[in-house]
Copies of this chain bind each other. A is one copy, B any other.
Amino acid sequence: MKVAIYDTTLRDGTQGEGVSFSVADKLAVALKLDALGVDYIEGGWPGSNPRDAEFFERARTLELNHARLVAFGSTCHPRSRAEDDANLKALLEAETPVVTIFGKTWDLHVTKALGTTLENNLELIMASVAHLKSKGREVIYDAEHFFDGFTANPDYALETLLAAERAGADWIVLCDTNGGTLTSRLADVFASVKRAVARPLGIHAHNDSELAVANSIAAVERGATQVQGTINGYGERCGNANLCSVIPVLEVKLGHEAIGRERLSLLTHTSRFVAELANIPHGNHLPFVGHSAFAHKGGIHVSAVMKDPSTYEHVNPELTGNSRRVLVSDLSGRSNILYKAAEMGVDFTARAGKLETVVARIKELEHQGFQFEAAEGSLRLLMERALGNYQSPFVLGVYRVATERDSMGVLKSEATVSANVRGELIEATAEGCGPVHALDFALRRVLRKAFECVGGIHLTDYKVRVLDSNHATGARVRVLIDTSDDNQSWRTVGVSENILEASLQALEDAVNYKLLSEGGVCRNAPMNEGVVEEAHVI
Interface residues of A (CB under 8 A from B): 14-18, 20, 22, 24-25, 28, 45, 48-51, 74, 108-109, 112-113, 177-180, 182-184, 187, 207-211, 213-215, 217-218, 221, 233, 236-239, 242, 245, 249, 253-254, 277, 279, 284-288, 290-301, 303-304, 307-308, 310-315, 327, 329-331, 363, 366-367, 369, 371, 373-374, 397-407, 411, 413, 432-437, 440, 458-475, 477, 481-482, 496-501, 503, 536, 538
Contact = CB atoms under 8 A, between A and B. Distances in A.
8 contacts: A15-B298, A17-B285, A18-B292, A108-B308, A112-B304, A208-B288, A434-B501, A435-B435
A472 B498 contact: no
A470 B460 contact: yes
B437 A284 contact: no
B112 A17 contact: no
Q: Select the residue from A28, A218, A287 with max chain B CB neighbours within 10 A.
A: A287
B253 A182 contact: yes
Contacts of A286: 238
Nearest to A241: B210
B178 A473 contact: no
Contact of A209 (B253, B308, B402): B253
Contacts of A371: 20
A407 B398 contact: yes
Contacts of A471: 538
A397 B407 contact: yes
Contact of A330 (B51, B327, B401): B51
Contact of A329 (B20, B209, B297): B20
Given A286-B238, A411-B498, A538 B434 contact: no
Nearest to A177: B312
Contact of A311 (B112, B311, B436, B499): B112
Given A178-B314, A369-B22, A470-B24, A238 B290 contact: yes
A217 B182 contact: yes
B301 A236 contact: yes
Contacts of A298: 15, 236
B313 A178 contact: yes
Contacts of A253: 180, 182, 209
A389 B187 CA distance: 55
B499 A208 contact: no
Given A297-B15, A307-B112, A401-B402, A432 B473 contact: yes
Nearest to A115: B307
Contacts of A460: 470, 472
Contacts of A254: 182
A112 B308 contact: yes
* Oligomer copy total: 2
Given A113-B304, A330-B51, A399-B405, A237 B292 contact: yes
B397 A404 contact: no
A464 B466 contact: yes
CB-CB nearest 5 A-B residue pairs: A180-B314, A214-B214, A434-B498, A459-B472, A210-B245
A500 B237 contact: no
B109 A304 contact: yes
Residue from the set A18, A183, A285, A286 with the largest chain B CB neighbour count within 10 Å: A285
Contacts of A24: 468, 470
B330 A295 contact: no
B183 A435 contact: no
A10 to B, nearest CB: 12
Contact of A413 (B211, B404, B465, B498): B498
A403 B401 contact: yes
A15 B501 CA distance: 29
Contacts of A301: 236
A85 to B, nearest CB: 16
B472 A17 contact: no
A108 B113 CA distance: 57
B311 A109 contact: yes
Contacts of A293: 208, 237-238
B398 A538 contact: no
Contacts of A462: 466, 469, 472-473, 475
Given A22-B468, A312-B178, A472-B461, A296 B236 contact: yes
